[in-house]
Structure 1
Amino acid sequence: MKRPAFAWLLGLWLALASAAAPAHAGEIRVVDDRGVAVSLPRSPQRIVSLLPSLTETVCELGQCHRLVGVDRYSNYPASVRALPQTGGGIDPNIEAIVALRPDLVLAATSSRGVPRLESFGLKVLALEPRTAAGAQRVMGVLGQVLEVRDAERVWRAIEAGVSAAASSLPPPARGLRVYYEVSTGGYAAGPGSFIGELMDRLGARNIVGRELGPFPRINPEYVVRADPDLIMIGQRNVAGLAQRPGWQGMRALREGRVCVFSADESDVLVRPGPRMAEAARIMARCLSDKGRK
């Protein structure tokens, strides 16, 4: 009688012990923007980032020291400029990345190098936020991967900064019809992009139709017909603006309502991540200055 009782108790103890200790203690599992489930045996200590917004998010979460390499466009915070560069997000230097022995590579979903990186056995987390909600989600995913508990608090501070920028605008700066040119070739920020969302929160009216997508390529005649009150454009793209067919007659150029952002300001504005509050302040300053004319 005693032997079966002992065997039963031993079996019960083993079952409870098994339930209390997971088979993969410390393992982290997340789903990236490809819909791919990525499993990591532990929180990564050696990270290569191939997208500036992801680089900035890692650092905003206080984990800059885990970065061992970045893409050629990652330039903030200043400390990342000293790290080895591994090509661009679209054209990463695979050999250089492999040589850095990363535990994890952060890449855009649009990066052509992801399959090849994975063929070398590297863990790749593909994340590419296009909206504010996407940036918030990415911060949450990276917070989980990096085991940073206050990622949500960090995001709330960003949101508060955007709201403060919106509240600072005087009435004349609201309701302006705006064209925001993101890059050369006439690519604009549509209402569905994170830039378009910031414009909306600041009370600006985007001349680009929502049906055209987040970052559509716009025909110059489309802008002429829309005749915006204000144009926002980066210093890199402004050359020859007044020489575009029909543009000299537009209200924005006639009245000097053109905000030309420096290279540093453009970097802030086009990266959906932790500097979105700063982006809102830059945009609010533009609206405030030009809305008074």
Structure 2
Amino acid sequence: MSRCFIVLVLMLATAGPLAAPVTITDDRGATVTLREAPRRIVTLLPSLAETVCELGACDRLVGVDDYANWPERVRKLPHVGGLDDANIEQILALRPDVVMLSSTARALGRLESLNVPVLGFDLKTLADVRRVFARVAQVLEVQGADAAWDRIQEGVAEAARSLPPNARGTTVYFEVSAGPYAASENSHIGEILAQLGAANVVPGRLGSVPLLNPEFVVRADPQVIMISERDAGTLSTRPGWSRIRAMRDGRVCRFTLAQGDVIVRPGPRLAEAAQLMADCLAGRLREGR
């Protein structure tokens, strides 16, 4: 037996397993095959960055969108734009193995044309959150997606149990951003409100986060308004809004920017989001504190 053959056998015996390709179908129905589980990841949605970190792979992130700010370590990463203004050149310079983004992001087609692997995800409902957890875990080749989802469900149930019986059936208007854009029954926010026993005044038939005529809210006359402290200052100047029960009774919850991030991002912090909304319904969070 030659010396070279013996050396080759020893090398093969001590070598680790060869990396296997990873194939996944994203929310567009596009099948993407990566040579191996990605080590360099760019995300273009805050909730996707949070999901990667929740699954224990924060160290694989090399770039995030401009709004990603949790957990703390992502603040130090390169920020490469947003949904409609992603910096393609900066992303390319980061040499990502994959870019995870919204399936409707403008950058998706451009990155594909440059042969950058992309995974497009839809994140509007709780079912979307669960599915994306599973798919991101599949791409990363890690465990923990089911456990993360179970923690969310347990946290939402705990938030619901913290509410007094008389809070059930409370009619709620949740404003996502000025416009006004509101969270409907078909959004993840609306679904959590339903699990808390609240009644969302914005029907799902209008879309997930529809742009409303302000008069719609006046007619709906919600008992509670949930809104960012950034936009709450305009409420008293909106025509007719002084007649809304929530305004008359002082039941307006003004969430801080950090609290708003927790609630509007469909990701791993939804149990905390549910508790914030429960605290509002119970009268424990009138001023976002």
TM-score, normalised with respect to structure 1: 0.89
Q: 1:68 to 1:25 in 2, by over 3 A?
A: closer
Map 1:44-193; keep pairs closer than 5 Å: 44-193=38-187
Q: Contact 2:55 / 2:143 at 8 angstroms: preserved in 1?
A: no
* Aligned with 1:32 (options 5, 21, 26): 26
Q: Contact 2:276 / 2:285 at 8 angstroms: preserved in 1?
A: no
Once the 2 structures are TM-superposed, how far is the Cα of residue 291 of structure 1 from its aligned partner? 10
Deviations 1:118-151 (A, max 9, x none): 1221100111211000000000000100011221
Q: What is the aligned residue count?
A: 269
Are 1:204 and 2:214 counterparts?
no
- My pick for the range that moved more, 166-175 or 253-262, is 166-175
Residue 277 (structure 1) aligns with? 271
Q: Contact 1:172 / 1:291 at 8 angstroms: preserved in 2?
A: no
Q: Contact 1:182 / 1:270 at 8 angstroms: preserved in 2?
A: yes
- Structure 1 Cα separation of the partners of residues 122 and 265 of structure 2: 10
- Structure 1 Cα separation of the partners of residues 102 and 187 of structure 2: 16
Give the structure with higher Rg (CA).
1
Q: Contact 1:158 / 1:275 at 8 angstroms: preserved in 2?
A: yes
Q: Contact 2:279 / 2:285 at 8 angstroms: preserved in 1?
A: no
Q: Contact 1:90 / 1:110 at 8 angstroms: preserved in 2?
A: no
Which amino acid counterpart does residue 127 of structure 1 have in structure 2?
F
- Structure 1 Cα separation of the partners of residues 126 and 157 of structure 2: 13
* Aligned with 1:263 (options 236, 242, 257): 257
Moved over 4 A (4+): none
Residue 218 (structure 2) aligns with? 224
Which amino acid counterpart does residue 264 of structure 2 have in structure 1?
V
Map 1:7-26; keep pairs closer than 5 Å: 26=20
- Structure 1 Cα separation of the partners of residues 213 and 137 of structure 2: 40
Residue 247 (structure 1) aligns with? 241
Residue 208 (structure 2) aligns with? 214
- My pick for the range that moved more, 67-76 or 203-212, is 203-212
Q: 1:64 to 1:291 in 2, by over 3 A?
A: closer
Q: 1:95 to 1:291 in 2, by over 3 A?
A: closer
- Structure 2 Cα separation of the partners of residues 28 and 187 of structure 1: 38
Which amino acid counterpart does residue 264 of structure 1 have in structure 2?
A
Which amino acid counterpart does residue 131 of structure 2 have in structure 1?
R
TM-score, normalised with respect to structure 2: 0.90
Specify every segment of 5 or more residues in structure 1 that has no aligned partner in the other structure, as ranges: 1-23
- Structure 1 Cα separation of the partners of residues 204 and 119 of structure 2: 29
